[in-house]
Structure 1
Amino acid sequence: MKGYDVVRPLLFQLPTERAHGTGHTLLKTVQGTPVERLLELYYRVDDPRLTVEAFGQSFPNPVGVAAGFDKNAEIPHVLASLGFGHVEIGGVTAEAQPGNPKPRMFRLREDEGIINRMGFNNHGADRIGARMATQSLPDVPVGANIGKSKSTPLETAEEDYLYSYERVSSHADYFVVNVSSPNTPGLRELQNRENLERILTTLQDAGASPLLVKLSPDLPEPAVTDALDLVIELGLDGVIATNTSTERPDSLRSENRREEGGLSGIPIQGRATEMIRFAAERVDVPIVGVGGIFTAEDAYRKIRAGAHVVQLYTGFIYRGPSIARDINEGLLELLDRDGYDSIEEAIGADLQ
């Protein structure tokens, strides 16, 4: 039995957000200590076949940590030591904000999912930017996911995004415009073409590069097409597909399925993969695949559907600290099975 198989039932006795905080605190405690080096030796998979080049960055492997896990850029180094090939911090907002009232994070154990309505709780762009400037960052790409402060009107959203970008611009390797979280009132209205273009061009004029946009899995096909057309027209560097979902599949069994917020994990796995494929068939930029990644096979399906790299969060909660190592080792086996010399050869293999 793996160590996390023993620990997980104990953690799952705690409220979801408290359990996450406990794990976060443990990782923060070992960061910068000799223990971190031991973690790296145990969990990191170094193999050139896993290397991916995307939007000007070199990823030592395709498995990253999604935004939301390290909101305040407190543990990027130790996350890299757990074997992740990139870390996305945030969402960062211009104003520090506590987020929505608790409880706001719920396990769907029977469905291997999470519902959260966190509401961009974070320390704010000033404090996060200062932390990134003074701490040691890992030798893997670090992205900054930027959202809108709750109190900022939609009409001036671009100013809010710009403020946050300017505070982290010198310390991140890529930047993500998050207009697709379901937990900030009105935020998803920024996905319409006019609003999104205003935000993106403001950031581009400020020098934001590489610049990516994160899309919702709940967008109807015409809206996704509009967003992807904008990616092409503005020359964006990449797309993240997808964020969490407000839809509730009929298959959900957990008593928490009726909680409000964004659904992640296995229940949105198929929808996220479909959206990756839809985007890959329409844009010639790297795609970051997110949604229901628990195993190497899950990651591989998204890569074959067109994702250059993938990210996970919910899988980390359910599978524990070995998940990046397990996926990367499994990916090498899948490459051997299918006769590929590298992950890059498998990208988009299932596209027409």
Structure 2
Amino acid sequence: MPRVFEYSRLWPLLSRMDPERAHRLALVFWREVGRRPWLRRWVQRMAHAQDLPRDPVQVAGLAFPNRVGLAAGYDKDAYAWRGLAALGFGHIEVGTVTLMPQPGNPRPRLWRIPEHRALINRLGFPSKGAPLVARRLQGPRPPGLILGVNIGHNHGVPPKAVPEQYARLFLVFAPWADYLTVNVSCPNVPGYQQWQGKKEVMRLLVALRQAREAWRRLSGGNGRGLPIFVKLSPDLSPAQLDDTLEGIVRGGAEGIIATNTTTRRPGLDPRWQQVPGGLSGAPLRDLSTQFIADLHQRLQGRLPIIGVGGIMSPEDAQEKLQAGAQLVQVFTGLVYEGPALIPRLIRSLAAPKQPEALAQRRSSS
């Protein structure tokens, strides 16, 4: 069979397509990988995803088989996660999922910036809705895979009704997910980031904890704990971060995902400064890593951190761990570097690192 899976050969074709169409085709491919064992074996061979080392780590009471996960946004509607798991991910986070279906923002809403290995998106939470996504999570699961669901409220929901939507989302996904992530940091939906305030995030977390207790009662006391994480924006000021963390800790969250996309445009050409949406990819790397370091210093080990933002290489992932993250997630790196990036990350993070090599990497960046 020809080595058509070599990503360097596929990228010129994919990069000429509309970004959303190319992503849809990728999801169709990964869905087929999940359905066909022979295709799964071929992908694993071509991406060097066979015989991956185990690097187990306990986070929020969950046993992750390794430190590398797929970030929310890649498989929004849980269409292809079983196939993507063939790359060796220790965890996959689907979503963002809303309670009811919604189309998101009008197009165009996704832009590639290949010279910077970056994306700008203003998708605005297009979602097939929680009931459909929950059905897609049912059934067989790759052994050991941790499955997370990133949840958000629908557009136009009155603020008083938002906590109730999160509680209902919890009850929909509790039987199928291993953890839930509260997305209060999306820059593409007006008014969304206000839920990062102390009082606002506490309201959401209280509603989710009450839903968790209700789920336990419905399960006869045997329901799983189902940890709740909160995903934060890298654009929070130090004062805003302190305020948010107080609400997160007091609200009883079990972890933080840092970070979401940024509205800043570090190092980008002027023509991209006015394009609306959240920036991801290589330009986000340093901003995200510094945010994780600041977060780690403030938390002093009270909550685990999952690091995401600009991971394009094993060195980038290792820097996230050095800054204080326990796990990492990838999205834009998979788009630009291809599937073989994931096994590379897993092998690299499972191997011991020399401190002087990391110091040299930081000083040269």
Same fold (TM over 0.5): yes
For residues 178 and 294 of structure 2, the distance between their equivalents in structure 1, rounded to whole angstroms, comes to: 26
Instruction: Tell me the equivalent position of 1:306.
Output: 324
Within the candidate set 237, 247, 267, 1:220 is matched to: 237
Aligned residue number for residue 277 of structure 1:
293
In structure 2, which of residues 292, 306, 309 is the aligned counterpart of residue 291 of structure 1? 309
Matched, 1:63 2:68: yes
User: 265, 272, 280: which one pairs with 1:264?
Assistant: 280
Shift of 1:256: 4.2
- Using the TM superposition, give the Cα deviation of residue 22 of structure 1 relative to its aligned residue in structure 2, in angstroms: 1.1
The residue number in structure 2 matching 1:210 is 227
Give the secondary-structure state (helix, strand or coil) at the position aligned to 1:263.
strand
Look up the SS of the partner of 1:74 in the other structure: coil
Aligned 8 A contact 1:129 1:171 in 2: yes
Structure 1 distance, partners of 2:52, 2:115, is 34
Question: 1:226: how far off?
Answer: 1.4
Structure 1 position 17 matched with structure 2 position 16 = no
Contact 2:199 2:247 survives alignment (8 Å): no
Instruction: Measure how far apart 1:337 and its partner are.
Output: 3.5
Name the SS for the 1:258 alignment partner.
Answer: coil
Contact 1:106 1:116 (8 Å CA) reproduced: yes
Partner of 1:74: 79
Secondary structure of 2:298's match?
coil
Report deviation, 1:9. Answer: 0.9
Give the match for residue 343 of structure 1: none
Which residue of 2 is the match for residue 253 of structure 1?
269
Within the candidate set 254, 259, 270, 1:237 is matched to 254
The range that moved more, 148-157 or 283-292, is 148-157
Letter in 2 for 1:174: Y
TM-score, normalized by length of structure 2?
0.87
Q: 1:327 to 1:257 in 2, by over 3 A?
A: farther
Cα shift at 1:228: 1.4
User: Aligned partners of 1:244 and 1:273: how far apart in 2?
Assistant: 13
2:44, 2:91 → 1: CA distance? 14
CA contact 2:262–2:279 (8 Å) conserved in 1: yes
Distance 2:326 2:231 in 1: 15
Verify the 8 A CA contact 2:187 2:278 in the aligned structure 1: yes
CA contact (8 A) 1:180 1:214 kept: yes
Q: How does 1:45-124 map to 2 (within 5 A)?
A: 46-48=52-54, 50-124=55-129
- Count of equivalent residues: 335
- The residue aligned with 1:136 is 140
Contact 1:111 1:252 in 2 (8 A): yes
CA contact (8 A) 1:110 1:253 kept: no
Does residue 329 of the first structure (1) align with residue 347 of the second (2)? yes
Once residues 272 and 45 of structure 1 are traced to their aligned partners in structure 2, the CA distance between those partners, rounded to angstroms, is 31
Change (3 A) 1:56 1:71: same
Matches of 1:290 and 1:65 in 2, distance apart?
Answer: 9
Q: CA deviation at 1:92?
A: 0.7
Q: Which runs of 5+ in 1 are unaligned?
A: 340-352
Mapped contact 2:312–2:333 kept (Cα < 8 A): yes
- Pairing 1:36–2:40 present: yes
Distance 2:172 2:259 in 1: 25
**Which residue of structure 1 lines up, in the alignment, with residue 179 of structure 2?**
174
**Quick one: distance in 2 between partners of 1:85 and 1:13?**
31
Letter in 2 for 1:43: A
Aligned-partner SS, 2:75: coil
Structure 2 residue 160 is matched with structure 1 residue 155:
yes
Listed one character per residue, the Cα deviations across residues 307-326 of structure 1 (whole Å, up to 9, x for unaligned) are 00000110010011111111
Give 1:64 deviation, angstroms. 0.6
Identity level (%): 38
CA distance in 1, matches of 2:238, 2:354: 35
| Residue aligning to 1:315 | 333
Distance 1:45 1:30 in 2: 18
* Segments of 4+ moved more than 4 angstroms: 254-257
TM-score, normalised relative to structure 1:
0.90
Q: Give the whole-Å Cα distance in 2 for the aligned partners of 1:211 and 1:198.
A: 14
